[in-house]
């Protein structure tokens, strides 16, 4: 694979065609997400233009198309609602400041070269979060789909008002929404390849509204401001600053995950390799500029990226041309969009919400693991009914605890105590012979695999049986990594053995393991002649010393017997 994001003109036709196709897809999505977020369609359009342009120009994935996405829109909707409730006058400006903070965080992540770590998140949490986001998008569109404005208060209030919304629905607007869904789902694949169904639904729904429903009260987008965007300089309150920083971090992290996962898909389709850290910087610049200009936050969009590649896009020119086409629409063609019905946009976002839900994993999660299913459903419900940030935090925490527990169990099984020649771990005939000669007076502590804090407890437990032995051999040949906690456990065992006058031997250890043992001064406690590269040599010396000790003990016992006999004879005389 090659790493490249240089802009060149060798694929000019393919890049322009890819950009045009991606722009056609992006237009209805930008309008729909702008309306769904509560910031207005113009925010969606500027988000699509600015995030897309900056990410293409400064990013590290040549074919990536960046724009407002479903997950980012849901988080932004929550931020807008929260900020406006806190400060009705400046709440929207504070929400755009949060978008700028998200961009700054992404730039920092890129500069710190954290790209390869961003997507390291348990799939159960990602699946639950994405399914929750999909459900939120669906619930948020129920009101507009039925011809009503959503009540204030978020998801719960919308669901409470749903029975009333259904009984008082607007037949015309609901019919437009249903027509939109029918077009999106039933359009033949051959036509989809030529024209995106979202655009057809937008055009058809608008034409029906203009020519057949002109006498009906249909809610429409209305006039969109023309010209350059109004700048929104950072506004924040000290009381809300911590909350804005957290929201900005969540937006930034979500955008990073969204973008880098899409970059991986782009790599697989184009046989290239993206630059994760450069991509994060590009995404951050895009969101920073978008927030400054009152646009929605964005990230790498899978659908737009795939369509761009399929249409021939191969360099960043495709993303730049897409952004310029959308810019033309915003500056000169915005009046053409004023008659678009909100019900049509609701139908488009409703389809996005349905597609975001991880149906495949939902169907089989309970069969794979009850714990995994519980985490996934828990995160999903918390995302929908409580708070996105809390949902992800709790999900990651529980998933990591369970993972740590599994790793600890695995590592504990890799801590083995050997004192007989019958152990399966002893593959060498000489080792078996020497263990037999030791007559269960030598304890061989065999460690293998990475030893982190998960293994520390198992190592510490072996201290209780040290009294049964005269020699301790710690074999580290199979240990590639030794954590601090595990090293402390080894140190305690060595100290305990030294207190009991037990002979201590160290076997093996690569350079990094030796450095770790030296950091804890463990080597200072073990004489140089008791350090070996293989366990046979250590066992041989241990058995030799053990025999010498036994011989000395026998001589002492014999001397004591002779002395006792001498005393007895002397007393008789």
- What is the CATH number for 526? 3.30.750.24
| Number of structural domains the chain divides into | 2
Beta strands at 503-507 and 471-478: parallel, antiparallel or unpaired: parallel
DSSP code per residue over 412-460? HHTEEEE-STT-TT--SHHHHHHHHHHTT-EEEEEEES-B-HHHHHHHH
Residues 481 and 411: their CA atoms lie apart, in Å, by 12
pLDDT at 280: 96
43 and 162 housed in the same domain: yes
Owner of token pair 């899409």: 262
Helix (H, G, I), strand (E, B) or coil at 47: helix
Residues 12 and 188: their CA atoms lie apart, in Å, by 30
Owner of token pair 């737009």: 304
Angle among Cα 419, 423, 424 to the nearest 5 degrees reads 155
Owner of token pair 């322009």: 16
398 and 480 housed in the same domain: no
At a CB cut-off of 8 Å and minimum separation 6, what does 328 contact?
none
Residues 36 and 29: their CA atoms lie apart, in Å, by 10
Backbone angles phi, psi at 103, to 5 degrees: -60, -40
> 414 and 480 in contact (C-beta within 8 Å)?
no
pLDDT at 292: 96
420 and 398 housed in the same domain: no
Helix (H, G, I), strand (E, B) or coil at 503: strand
Owner of token pair 């710690």: 474
Instruction: With respect to residue 232, please indicate whether it lies within any of the assigned structural domains.
Output: yes
Instruction: With respect to residue 7, please indicate whether it lies within any of the assigned structural domains.
Output: no
Helix (H, G, I), strand (E, B) or coil at 341: strand
Owner of token pair 């005269």: 470
Q: Residue 254: which of 112, 68, 430, 451 has the closest Cα?
A: 68
Q: Residue 522: which of 482, 561, 549 has the closest Cα?
A: 482
Residue 295: alpha-carbon gap to chain centroid? 25
pLDDT at 4: 46
pLDDT at 508: 84
Q: Residue 188: which of 197, 180, 179 has the closest Cα?
A: 197
464 and 319 housed in the same domain: no
At a CB cut-off of 8 Å and minimum separation 6, what does 268 contact?
none
At a CB cut-off of 8 Å and minimum separation 6, what does 442 contact?
419, 435, 469, 470, 471, 472, 473, 539, 542, 543, 546
> 417 and 443 in contact (C-beta within 8 Å)?
yes
385 and 472 housed in the same domain: no
373 and 457 housed in the same domain: no
Taking the chain (573 residues) in runs of 10, the rounded mean pLDDT of each run is 59 87 87 89 94 95 93 91 88 94 97 85 86 90 90 84 92 95 92 84 92 88 82 85 91 91 87 91 97 95 88 91 92 82 91 89 84 91 84 86 84 87 81 89 90 85 89 91 90 91 89 88 86 90 86 65 57 55
3-state helix, strand, coil in the chain (%, to 5): 70, 5, 25
Domain boundary among 369, 402, 435: 402
350 and 427 housed in the same domain: no
Instruction: With respect to residue 6, please indicate whether it lies within any of the assigned structural domains.
Output: no
- Give me the residues paired with residue 475 across strands: 446, 507
Segments forming the whole domain that contains residue 512: 414-557
Instruction: With respect to residue 36, please indicate whether it lies within any of the assigned structural domains.
Output: yes
Helix (H, G, I), strand (E, B) or coil at 149: coil
Instruction: With respect to residue 5, please indicate whether it lies within any of the assigned structural domains.
Output: no
Instruction: With respect to residue 197, please indicate whether it lies within any of the assigned structural domains.
Output: yes
Domain boundary among 402, 422, 448: 402
296 and 341 housed in the same domain: yes
475 and 534 housed in the same domain: yes
180 and 292 housed in the same domain: yes
Residues 442 and 436: their CA atoms lie apart, in Å, by 10
At a CB cut-off of 8 Å and minimum separation 6, what does 270 contact?
62, 63, 309, 314
The secondary structure of 524-572, three-state, reads: HHCCHHHEECCHHHHHHHHHHHHHHHHHHHHHHHHHHHHHHHHHHHHHH
Instruction: With respect to residue 469, please indicate whether it lies within any of the assigned structural domains.
Output: yes
337 and 474 housed in the same domain: no
Instruction: With respect to residue 562, please indicate whether it lies within any of the assigned structural domains.
Output: no
User: Residue 510: how many CA atoms within 13 Å on its side-chain side?
Assistant: 9
Domain boundary among 402, 423, 438: 402
66 and 171 housed in the same domain: yes
Backbone angles phi, psi at 329, to 5 degrees: -60, -45
Beta strands at 442-448 and 415-418: parallel, antiparallel or unpaired: antiparallel
């Amino acid at each position: 694979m090659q790493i490249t994001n240089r802009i060149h003109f060798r694929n000019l036709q393919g890049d322009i065609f890819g950009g045009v196709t991606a722009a056609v897809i992006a237009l209805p999505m930008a309008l729909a997400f702008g309306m769904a977020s509560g910031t207005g369609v113009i925010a969606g359009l500027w988000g699509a233009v600015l995030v897309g342009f900056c990410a293409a120009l400064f990013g590290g994935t040549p074919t990536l198309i960046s724009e407002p996405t479903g997950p980012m829109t849901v988080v932004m909707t929550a931020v807008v609602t929260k900020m406006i409730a806190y400060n009705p006058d400046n709440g929207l400006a504070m929400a755009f400041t949060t978008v700028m903070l998200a961009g700054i965080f992404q730039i920092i992540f890129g500069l710190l070269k954290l790209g390869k770590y961003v997507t390291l998140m348990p799939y159960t949490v990602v699946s639950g979060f994405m399914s929750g986001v999909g459900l939120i998008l669906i619930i948020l569109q129920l009101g507009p789909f039925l011809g009503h404005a959503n009540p204030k208060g978020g998801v719960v209030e919308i669901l409470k008002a749903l029975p009333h919304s259904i009984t008082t629905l607007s037949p015309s607007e609901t019919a437009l929404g249903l027509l939109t869904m029918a077009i999106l789902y039933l359009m033949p694949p051959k036509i989809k390849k030529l024209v995106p169904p979202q655009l057809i639904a937008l055009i058809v729904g608008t034409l029906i509204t203009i020519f057949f429903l002109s006498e009906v009260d249909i809610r429409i987008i209305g006039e969109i401001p023309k010209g350059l965007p109004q700048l929104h300089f950072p506004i924040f309150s000290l009381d809300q600053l911590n909350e804005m920083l957290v929201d900005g971090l969540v937006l930034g992290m979500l955008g990073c995950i969204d973008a880098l996962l899409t970059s991986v898909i782009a790599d697989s389709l184009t046989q290239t390799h993206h630059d994760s850290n450069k991509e994060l910087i590009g995404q951050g610049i895009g969101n920073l500029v978008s927030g400054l200009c009152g646009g929605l936050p964005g990230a790498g969009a899978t659908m737009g990226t795939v369509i761009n590649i399929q249409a021939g896009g191969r360099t960043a020119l495709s993303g730049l041309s897409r952004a310029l086409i959308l810019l033309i629409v915003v500056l000169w063609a915005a009046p053409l969009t004023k008659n678009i019905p909100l019900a049509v946009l609701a139908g488009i976002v409703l389809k996005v919400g349905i597609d975001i839900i991880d149906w495949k994993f939902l169907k089989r999660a309970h069969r794979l693991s009850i714990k995994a299913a519980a985490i996934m459903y828990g995160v999903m419900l918390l995302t929908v009914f409580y708070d996105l940030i809390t949902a992800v935090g709790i999900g990651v925490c529980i998933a990591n605890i369970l993972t740590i527990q599994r790793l600890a169990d695995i590592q504990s099984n890799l801590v083995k105590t050997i004192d007989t020649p019958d152990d399966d771990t002893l593959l060498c005939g000489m080792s078996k012979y020497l263990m037999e000669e030791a007559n269960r007076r030598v304890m061989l502590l065999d460690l293998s695999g990475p030893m982190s804090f998960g293994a520390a407890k198992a190592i510490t437990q072996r201290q209780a049986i040290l009294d049964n032995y005269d020699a301790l051999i710690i074999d580290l040949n199979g240990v590639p990594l030794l954590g601090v906690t595990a090293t402390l456990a080894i140190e305690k065992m060595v100290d305990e053995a030294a207190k009991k006058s037990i002979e201590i031997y160290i076997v093996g250890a690569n350079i990094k393991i030796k450095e770790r043992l030296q950091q804890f001064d463990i080597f200072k406690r073990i004489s140089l002649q008791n350090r070996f590269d293989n366990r046979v040599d250590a066992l041989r010396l241990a058995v030799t010393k053990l025999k010498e000790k036994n011989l000395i003990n026998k001589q002492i016992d014999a001397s004591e017997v002779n002395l006792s006999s001498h005393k007895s004879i002397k007393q008789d005389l």
